[in-house]
Structure 1
Amino acid sequence: MFRIALFAVLGPMLWGTTYAVFTEFLPTTHPFFTGVIRALPAGLLLLALNPVIPKPGVLMRYAVLAVFNIAVFFSMLFVAAGRVPGGLAATLGAVQPLVVVGLVALIGRHAPHPVQVAAGIAGVAGVGLMVFSPSATLDMIGVMAALGGAVSMGVGTVLIDRWGRAGKPLEMVTWQMIFGGLILAPVAWLKEGLPPAPDLMAVAGYGWLIFFGTAFGYYAWNRGVTKLGPSAAYLALASPVTATLIGTLVMDERFGLAQWAGILLVLGAIITGVSVRRRRLAAIETVPTGAA
């Protein structure tokens, strides 16, 4: 189990490098195009490794999931990465588990545990500390993009939970990447046009995102989720932690005391909220099948 967790955590750790790679090596004026390049080649690569074409009904569901989990999420992620320090952008995006808890409660499937409600309030307070700190001079478009990406990913997660995994995780990731890239392509063309010709650093940056940050990262994550179940949610915290460490140690990003407090408060809220959800799911899973 430890080996599986160690392999799975590589996904979020690689995602945490996305912010630095984008801002240091790629044209930040083309966030939508970067989303296309990240998603579509990775999806085609995974399809070559696992050439499976699902039934039309399943493909339609993958296309809807691709809108929320890839097209909107990737575009918002890169918009945020170009405007907000990577550590803060990653932490703002990490409120997604709290979004999921709220959405599930909103559609009436499960009432949230009081601790989850408290965790949600703490998470909102943490975001407020990060964004509205007196020492913060943040681009609000970037902040809203990071939060918008978290909401979009939260909607996609709830849809996966409602529909179930119609196919294997690798298949689902593959077709979401392909559809997501195809959806983003015309948007990128109309809004941004072609980016400048890539130099060697940009080629290396695109290659890192495609092969490691997306194809391998998402494979490692989905393989871990299928083995570990809900407990894998804890591992996702490696993404904001990695982004914050890179920003602080390598990119000389400086946060005020209130922003550090906000980061810790958000991470603590996520750990608390997800752990309560995990215990509740574990309790449900232990009910004998004949009890229904």
Structure 2
Amino acid sequence: MDRRWSDVALTAAAPTAWGTTYLVTTELLPADRPLWSGALRALPAGLLLLALTRRRPHGVWWWRSALLGALNIGAFFPLLFLAAYRLPGGTAAVLGAAQPLLVAALGVVALGARPGRPALLAALAAPLGVTLVVLRPGAALDPLGIAAGLAGTAAMAAGLVLTRRWGRPAGAGTLAATSWQLVAGGLMIVPLAAAVEGAPAAPDRAALLGYAWLGLVGTAGAYALWFRGVALLPVTRVSVLGALSPLTAAALGWLVLDQALGPVQLAGFAVAVIATVVGQLPGQPASNRRQSGAGPSRSTHSGSGPGDNSAAAARGRTKRCAAAGPAAYDSSSIQRTSSTVQPSPARPAISRTSRRPTRVSSS
């Protein structure tokens, strides 16, 4: 498999794991404890990674890690749960599916990265497909729920873009940086959970299994893979993969919970899946296409810069740094691990490029 598509597949595993959250929560975890569920997802996983890596933030990374942890965990989880409780029928998932559009807009402002045409088309089509899958006629449109859903989506989009902009501190492994954000985000949720939900319920065996799955697989592993992808792939393409989360949740609801999927839902599945694939195709921004049309054709490195076609990629001079391996698995503070080199004249640059409504959780 081409290295770029291997990176895409690993990144896609993150939203797929997040798509199991609704099933695990409804079947294994204590009822009516969404905030504690969020805290117990993030904090133990972060502490475990912190113990394994034995690295602490330094300098500006104290506040950067706190901010990124707030955007990706501390604010996102409570807003997500509030939207899910007040917006039945998957409406919250539809709002979450709009994240690629926000990421594309923020990427232009913060990174100067203009997504290519395939990524833009996918950013428009993926929310449409998710809407067909999860949104039911007559779904309630509670204003507070809509505001919470949009705010949560904006928080995650901002965290995604800042991850690319800031990278990670020199000398710090990506797992260490992931742990900082999980601990920061989890600590932010704990006092809110205590104030709103009281003391956490004593977990039984099923709850322990559920928390273990969500903490190790759905949080530590998934966020590491997700932000590894942010370091290696254009952020708009990464955000398009987020549509796999509600699709996975809907599929598990059909397979395990006996929830109905009709022709409209199946058509939405097809649209969303095709959009995620198209969104990973290499593409040039319109300005670069106009420039390249006047001269000889040049190769495009599809995953080398913050956008779908950075200046180095347009010159065909970028390849990945050998350091981008398992240690590149990070949450929100991964640094781009590619370096620019001059290819020799004889060797071109290498491209790496129911019956009851389905409720969907987007992380």
TM-score range, shorter chain: 0.7 to 0.9
Query: Which residue in 1 is equivalent to 2:175?
Result: 170
Q: Residue 190 in 1 paired to residue 217 in 2?
A: no
In structure 2, the residue matched to 1:215 is 220
The equivalences for 1:1-292 within 5 A come to 1=3, 8-80=11-83, 90=93, 92-105=95-108, 109-111=112-114, 118-123=121-126, 125-126=128-129, 129=132, 133-134=136-137, 136-137=138-139, 140=142, 145-166=148-169, 167-223=172-228, 226=231, 228-230=232-234, 233=238, 236-262=242-268, 264-273=270-279, 275=281, 276=283, 278=302, 281-282=308-309, 284-286=311-313, 287=315
Matched-pair identity in %: 40
The answer on whether the counterparts of 1:88 and 1:263 sit within 8 Å (CA) in structure 2 is no
Compare 253-262 and 39-48 and name the one that shifted more: 253-262
Q: Which has the higher helix share?
A: 1
Aligned position for 2:347: none
Letter paired with 1:184: I
Structure of greater Rg: 2
Q: Could you say which structure has the greater relative contact order, defined with CA pairs below 8 angstroms and 6 or more residues apart?
A: 1
DSSP-derived class of the 2:75 partner: helix
Please give the per-residue CA displacement for 1:8-49, whole angstroms capped at 9, x wherever unaligned: 544333222111111222234222221111111110000011
> SS in structure 1 opposite 2:41?
helix
Aligned partner letter, 2:16: M
Q: How many residues align?
A: 289
Aligned CA-pair RMSD: 3.7
Confirm or deny: 8 A CA contact 1:22 1:81 kept in the other structure: no
Aligned counterparts of 1:35 and 1:197: Cα–Cα separation in 2: 16
Gaps of 5+ in 1: none
Distance 2:151 2:216 in 1: 26
TM-score (norm 1): 0.79
**Deviation of the 1:189 alpha carbon:** 1.4
Q: For the residues of structure 2 that align with 1:120 and 1:194, how far apart are their CA atoms?
A: 41
